Structure formats: C-alpha cells, structure tokens
Amino acid sequence: MVADSSCPLSELSLQLWPESEADCERAKQLADQLQLSICPVGTDPQQLGDVAMLLSVGSQGLALQQTGPKAPGPVRVDFLAGAVAHRRRFGGGSGQQIAKAIGIKPGVRPRVADLTAGLGRDSFVLAGLGCEVQMVERMPVVALLLEDGLRRAAFDPEVGEIIARMRLYQGAASQWLEDCDPHPEVVYLDPMFPHSSKSAQVKKEMLLFRTLVGADEDADELLELALAKAEYRVVVKRPRKAPTLGSRKPSYSLEGKSGRFDIYTLKAMK
C-alpha cells in the first residue's frame, strides 16, 4: 500500500501502548521517534474513545490495534505463523498467479521492487520463490511493523534464507525509483483501492489500513514512474472488477475469483 506520509502521525489519533512495564523503554524510544504520546500500561483498548489506534509494544513484537467496543484483534507482521506460513507451505509455489504475473519460470527469478509493501505478504511469497525483493513503504508506522517482522524472522532456520532476500526502504516510492541503481527488473504495485459502501466487510487488516492511510490517490502517477524505470515489466494487483490504473490498458491480465493482475510488458524477460 502506498501511504501519504505528509500527514503527521499525531493527526491520525495514534498512540504508543506498552503492554507491560518491561516494554516501556522501547515504547518511549518509538514515541520519541514518531512524535507520539504513550498510553499507560494496563490500558484496555476497548475502553478508549478518543484514540483510534494503538501501536502496541510487547513480547510478540509490534502490532497495530484498533480501539473501542468490539475492536478487532491486533495486526502484526508475522512471517513464521498463520496464513503466511500456510501459504508458504501449501500455496502452489511457482504455479501461483502472482508468480506467473511477475514472470517466474524455470531459471528466471527477476529482481522485484514492491513499491507498495504494506504487510509484506506478497514480497514474502516472491522471496520464497527465489526472487530478490526490494520493499518500499512510505508510512513510517507500517514500515516499523515490517522491520519488526523481518527482524523476528531473520534467524529462523526455516525462513531465514527467505528473509535474507528481502530489503526494506522507508520513504516515498517516487524517490526510491529516482535513486535506484540498478533499475528493478520488475515493479510490483498493489495500491489501496477506494472502499465502496456496497462491498462486503473487508478484512481487519484492510479496514485498519484504510483508517490509517486512506486511499492511494497517487497510484496513477506511480504507475507512470514505474513504467519509466522498470526493465522488463510492471505488475499491478487490482480487484477483479476495478478499472485499470490511469485508464492504461495492460499488455494482458491474469484474472482470479476476486482479483486480477494487470501486466505491462516493456521487453521480453531473459
């Protein structure tokens, strides 16, 4: 997801939340870094009315937590368990649509720049298939979640080799594209799609991201920059019935049940 970091985090009604006394020092460091205030230890997220979200600091790492009655559970980056681990083991390997869209085939593992990294799940899939992946995330809080997840997984005997193929840049994707050398072979974009009131209830992760960063208003511009910098192709992940970015017709698309990949080919991949 691309996030507009021009909005101060304090305006997003976000606070740090140490889960125990042992976490207070780390919470203070992050509060100073992000210029946020700190909730007292023992705060009940469901009882808060004037704070929309908490960045919790605890034994399981960092997590984003919505507040208020019936708030969903915390969202954290975890490359070792849950849906991410299940997909690594049973997700279909190089037969997955994302692998086909990126151009993975026998003997070909392109260098990929994921300019809308979000929680890093697609980057992890591609790195697990052997690609070197540069992740770019310009929302500081989301980048911290990613950094925390990478750190906790780096020394795991099963996934450490995958994590070693993932790098993180916190900042604007446009700036990274201007400075990158060499240029990425493939650029991958998964911009936040504007929420429709008619759509079904979204996952808690997407609901949280919409609350935190809103829609990606500059996605069309980012596609144009990506097309100017990518060596072989640009891949855009979209909801199945969503319009193309910038009304640009892709070279071809791969469509699934709920989503699709629009592929813009620039030259044949070696």
pLDDT tens digits, 26-79? 999 999 999 999 999 988 887 777 788 899 999 999 999 888 887 788 899 999
The Cα–Cα gap between 52 and 187 comes to 33
The Cα–Cα gap between 54 and 47 comes to 12
Q: Does domain 82-265 have CATH number 3.40.50.150?
A: yes
Q: What is the pLDDT of residue 203?
A: 65
238 annotated ligand-binding residue: no
The Cα–Cα gap between 73 and 81 comes to 16
Residue 10 pLDDT greater than 60, yes or no: no
CB atoms within 10 A of CB 4: 14
Give the mean pLDDT of 84-89: 84
* Out of 11-20, 44-53, 88-97, least confident range: 44-53
Burial of 218 (0-12, 13-18, 19+ CB in 10 A): middle
**Which residue did the predictor score with more confidence, 98 or 192?**
98
Residue type, 92: G
Q: What is the DSSP letter of 11?
A: G
Q: What is the pLDDT of residue 84?
A: 87
132 annotated ligand-binding residue: no
Residues 6+ apart with CB under 8 A from 98: 122, 125, 126, 237, 261
Residue 105 pLDDT greater than 90, yes or no: yes
Q: What is the pLDDT of residue 197?
A: 45
Q: What is the domain partition of the chain in residue ranges? A: 9-66, 82-265
The Cα–Cα gap between 159 and 7 comes to 35
Residue 209 pLDDT greater than 80, yes or no: no
151 annotated ligand-binding residue: no
Q: For 136-161, b where at least 16 C-beta lie within 10 A, e where not — what string?
A: bbbbbbbbbbbbbbbebbeeeeebee
Provide the 3-class DSSP secondary structure of residue 51.
coil
137 annotated ligand-binding residue: yes
pLDDT tens digits, 134-146? 999 999 999 999 9
pLDDT tens digits, 173-202? 999 999 999 999 999 999 986 555 444 445
138 annotated ligand-binding residue: yes
